[in-house]
């Protein structure tokens, strides 16, 4: 049941998985074409698509490709309230159980090993797991990050409830001892982090990540560059797939030596830095402050001097950046937002900047909020919404299989005007 929930295509041969994904992407482009028609835009191309769709680009690695896994702590099928794994069931039907991920194809063995050790640790602990905040308990989720350089980072989330600083210090010491001198030492962690969190998701600014052991960062190599990764920094979950994706993005940008590349939602700067040698300048924007620190370190370490990075919400930073844009050099934008898509003010800033003639939108969920962005980019000018710039047109779609065994794809849509 867990494999079917997390990796629903796992029983299919890989070529068949790619066919299934191609069909789902084709339907998304048909939907976009229909929605554009409703706006009075003639967008129907052969097959009812809004633009040509290339075949799904396969992932170089099919099994165990994830470099980041998040494990929950909850009641298992055997009733153990300290099971570390992934959820099966729904809250609506009140049948959620936490199942060990030992047989899930896309999770590497190292992640499963760390999860097993964490479960052993919390089962020894007299403190309860925190399943529902208001019912008490402490031990919560585990995030494991690994890199092709052999580095492993574990981040453990803990609800402090009413514990004092002394009691918290005791728990942190026990955790550190377990993973450095005890049974958990087998995991050979590069970094062990601890976060006291009183909510479902907590940023570093809301509750700092506390380094209990090892190095503050792990490192990854991608397209000949070295990248530093902080606990909460975004990095594509499939490193080998990301190399293929970023190479294609570089070609689609059609950048020349005088091009300025605008990298919106840039994370640790991977896209911009990997393309920096092709362009005159890279401007990155990212909301996670630690990721920007990583991006700046990555640029300096790799000897790249033509990049500047801005920390803050894109909807606050970008309109200011572009409102006074008078640079004569060609400006190409690459956006890689979360599933929530781009804020309307970001789309409006892009539309209203005449210098942007080419835009690459990278989406892991194009049928979701990204669809709203596609329509906002392509709709006719609307003075009421302060949308003055001429519309973009979708000209090419390329899906990349960054998530084998799942139904998800990373879709790159090229827009021009």
Annotated binding-site members: 236, 286, 336
Q: How many angstroms separate the CA atoms of 133 and 368, rounded?
A: 30
Q: In what order do the strands lie in the sheet with 281-286?
A: 307-311, 281-286, 260-264, 331-335, 356-363, 410-416, 393-400
Give the CA count within 13 Å in the CB-facing half-sphere of 227. 28
d(CA 7, CA 268): 28
Q: Would you state the structure tokens that stand for residue 20, as one six-digit string?
A: 């299934």
Instruction: Considering the candidates 364, 378, 379, 409, report the single residue annotated as catalytic.
Output: 364
Q: Long-range contacts made by residues 127-131, C-beta under 8 angstroms, separation at least 24?
A: 127/171, 128/81, 129/73, 129/74, 129/81, 129/82, 130/73, 130/158, 130/159, 130/161, 131/73, 131/74, 131/75, 131/81
The Cα–Cα gap between 308 and 292 comes to: 10
**Binding annotation for S-adenosyl-L-methionine:** 236, 286, 336
Q: Assess whether 117 carries a catalytic annotation.
A: no
Residues taking part in catalysis? 364
């Amino acid at each position: 049941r867990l494999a079917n929930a997390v990796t629903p295509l796992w029983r299919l041969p890989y070529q068949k998985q790619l066919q299934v994904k191609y069909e789902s992407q084709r339907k998304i482009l048909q939907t976009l074409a229909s929605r554009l028609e409703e706006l009075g835009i003639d967008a129907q191309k052969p097959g009812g698509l809004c633009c040509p769709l290339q075949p799904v680009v396969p992932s170089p690695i099919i099994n165990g490709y994830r470099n980041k896994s998040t494990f929950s702590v909850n009641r298992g099928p055997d009733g153990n309230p300290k099971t570390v794994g992934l959820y099966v069931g729904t809250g609506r039907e009140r049948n959620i159980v936490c199942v060990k991920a030992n047989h899930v194809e896309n999770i590497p063995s190292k992640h499963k090993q760390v999860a097993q050790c964490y479960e052993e640790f919390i089962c020894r602990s007299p403190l309860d797991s925190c399943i529902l905040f208001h019912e008490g308990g402490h031990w919560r989720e585990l995030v494991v990050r690994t890199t092709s350089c052999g580095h492993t980072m574990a981040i453990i989330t803990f609800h402090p409830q009413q514990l004092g600083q002394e009691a918290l210090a005791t728990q942190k010491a026990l955790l550190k001892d377990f993973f450095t001198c005890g049974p958990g030492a087998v995991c050979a962690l590069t970094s062990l982090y601890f976060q006291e969190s009183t909510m479902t998701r907590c940023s570093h600014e809301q509750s700092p990540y506390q380094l209990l052991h090892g190095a503050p960062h792990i490192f990854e190599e991608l397209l000949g560059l070295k990248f530093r990764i902080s606990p909460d920094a975004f990095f594509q979950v499939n490193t080998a797939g990301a190399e293929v994706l970023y190479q294609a993005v570089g070609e689609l940008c059609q950048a020349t030596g005088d091009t300025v590349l605008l990298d919106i939602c840039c994370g640790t700067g991977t896209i911009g830095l990997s393309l920096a040698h092709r362009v005159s300048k890279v401007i990155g924007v990212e909301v996670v402050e630690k990721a920007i620190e990583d991006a700046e370190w990555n640029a300096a370490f790799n000897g790249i001097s033509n990049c500047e990075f801005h920390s803050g919400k894109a909807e606050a930073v970008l309109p200011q950046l572009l409102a006074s844009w008078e640079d004569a050099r060609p400006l190409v934008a690459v956006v890689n937002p979360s599933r929530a898509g781009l804020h309307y003010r970001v789309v409006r800033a892009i539309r209203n900047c005449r210098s942007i003639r080419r835009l690459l939108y990278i989406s892991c969920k194009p049928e979701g909020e990204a669809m709203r962005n596609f329509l906002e980019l392509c709709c006719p000018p609307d003075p009421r919404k302060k949308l003055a710039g001429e519309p973009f047109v979708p000209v090419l779609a390329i899906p990349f299989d960054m998530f084998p065994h799942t139904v998800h794809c990373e879709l790159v849509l090229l827009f021009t005007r």
